[in-house]
C-alpha cells in the first residue's frame, strides 16, 4: 500500500483560508502511498491556513502559482475546503480553468467540505452526484448537481466528502481513485456510485 501512488504527482489547489486539516491529512495520505504533492495557489509564497474557519493555523508554503501550472503536470487534484479558500479560488480565472482542464482530461479529483464551490463556479457539477458541507448543497443543486448526505461519494473519478469528520474515509478513497488513474470524461446524466 505504501507504493500505490508511486510516480504520481498530485496538485493541491488552495488559497488563504484553507481549512488546515483538509489540506494536511489528504496530502499525508497520498504521500504515504508514494505520491509527490505540490501546493498550487493564486498567491505566491505562503497561504494562511485556518482551523474551523475562525482560528489562524499554520502558514503553508506554495510550490507553484496556478497561472503557471498545467494539469498536464499532475495525475490528480485535491480541493480542500474552508469557507474563504474556495471563495477566493472561484474568483480567479486561472484557478477555475485549471480545475476545468482536470475534468476535461478525465483525471481524478478529490473535493471536501466547501471545496465544491470552485466546481460550481467552473460549471462542473451538472449531472454529477456528490456531497459537501450542508451550506454548499443548495448551490450544487442550483448548478445541476445531485447532492447526497454520505461521508464519501465517488462519481467517475470525483471523490467528495462533507467535513473534516469524514477525512478518514475521504483519504482512503482518494488514494484508491488516484491509483486507478484517468476515468472516462464525464457524460452528463451518468449514474454515480456511492461508497
Catalytic positions, written as ranges: 113-114
Burial class (CB in 10 A: 0-12, 13-18, 19+), 6: exposed
| Alpha helix segments (H runs only) across the chain | 20-32, 84-89, 93-104, 116-121, 137-142, 167-180
Cell of residue 137, nine digits: 448543497
Cβ atoms of 147 and 137 closer than 8 Å: yes
Q: Are 178 and 36 in contact (CB under 8 A)?
A: no
Amino acid at each position: 500500500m505504501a507504493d500505490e501512488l508511486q510516480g504520481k504527482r498530485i496538485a493541491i489547489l488552495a488559497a488563504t483560508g484553507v481549512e488546515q486539516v483538509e489540506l494536511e491529512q489528504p496530502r499525508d495520505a497520498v504521500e504515504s502511498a508514494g505520491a509527490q504533492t505540490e501546493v498550487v495557489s493564486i498567491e505566491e509564497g505562503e497561504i494562511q491556513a485556518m482551523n474551523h474557519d475562525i482560528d489562524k493555523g499554520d502558514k503553508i508554503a506554495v510550490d507553484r502559482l496556478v497561472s503557471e501550472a498545467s494539469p498536464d503536470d499532475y495525475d490528480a487534484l485535491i480541493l480542500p475546503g474552508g469557507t474563504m479558500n474556495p471563495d477566493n479560488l472561484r474568483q480567479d480565472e486561472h484557478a477555475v480553468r485549471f480545475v476545468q482542464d482536470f475534468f476535461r482530461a478525465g483525471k481524478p479529483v478529490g473535493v471536501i467540505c466547501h471545496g465544491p464551490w470552485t466546481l460550481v463556479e467552473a460549471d462542473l457539477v451538472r449531472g454529477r452526484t456528490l456531497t459537501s458541507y450542508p451550506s454548499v448543497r443548495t448551490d450544487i443543486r442550483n448548478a445541476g448537481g445531485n447532492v447526497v448526505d454520505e461521508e464519501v461519494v465517488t462519481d467517475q473519478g470525483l471523490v467528495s466528502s462533507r467535513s473534516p469528520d469524514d477525512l478518514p474515509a475521504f483519504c482512503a478513497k482518494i488514494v484508491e481513485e488516484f491509483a486507478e488513474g484517468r476515468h472516462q470524461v464525464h457524460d452528463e446524466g451518468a449514474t454515480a456510485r456511492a461508497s
